[in-house]
Structure 1
């Protein structure tokens, strides 16, 4: 299954009763395994979980810590990009050159970027040296 298909499939499971904005994410780990996540809202905003965070949690729970590709999809008129927090979460587990594709269920438009393009000047473990 492609990352796009996996993200689109899990998006349908999103729990978004407040915003009605369902998001799905699929990430490919270094092993080639695909992990998915969907947004899970909570009435006590902002206590929900983003789709990207859910996919990362599934990857880490399976014992993997390196991602090599990301796909995010939402039912919006233009592709949706990961929020700032998720950009940092993705950068924790992926190198700057990791491709991130953002798509929409509304049409075939896709945006293609790398993690470095999404999060220039990312805070990383090198900043913690000597701490």
Structure 2
């Protein structure tokens, strides 16, 4: 079985290894739930991030926040392929808030690695709120 266009020529295990390394730097003393993410950028770069918790729980930063911050810090661009892992290094699906964040920087065609296979973000976040909604 082949995945969505562009999914089969990606070394997802190598991308997952970057996410696992990022996860190893997570700061999760309150939840005990470290998360790491990694993504490919349309110019060939790889960006990553980890969650950073805070004693004031609402101020914690998800791994996806760190990833898009690194994306912008290192030159911007569009995310093309994304994976997320938990503290055991297993594939994890990003929450709804994070899907919206990823949509802003990758769009509907961003390919996500999920426990059920590779799927475009459009399937994970149908009818997303986009910048076009602000033009109305």
Is the structural similarity TM-score above 0.5? yes
The separation in 2 between residues aligned to 1:128 and 1:46, in whole angstroms, is 26
The Cα RMSD (Å) is: 1.9
Segments of structure 2 that go 5 or more residues without pairing to the other structure are 1-10
What is the distance in 2 between the residues matched to 1:71 and 1:93? 14
Residue aligning to 1:105: none
Larger proportion of strand: 1
1:4 corresponding residue in structure 2? 16
CA contact (8 A) 2:86 2:92 kept: yes
Shift of 1:96: 1.0
Q: In the TM superposition, what are the counterparts of 1:76-115 in structure 2 within 5 Å?
A: 79-102=91-114, 111-115=117-121
Query: Residues 110 and 76 (structure 1 numbering): CA distance in 2 closer, same or farther, change over 3 Å?
Result: farther
Match of 2:32? 20
Deviations 1:76-106 (A, max 9, x none): 697421122111110001121211114xxxx
TM-score, scaled to structure 2: 0.83
Q: 2:77 corresponds to which residue? A: 65
| Structure-1 separation of matches of 2:39 and 2:135 | 28
| Cα gap change, 1:23 to 1:110, in 2 (>3 Å) | farther
Give runs of aligned pairs for residues 29-44 of structure 1, distance below 5 A.
29-44=41-56
Hey, what's the Cα distance between the residues in 2 that align with 1:9 and 1:75? 11
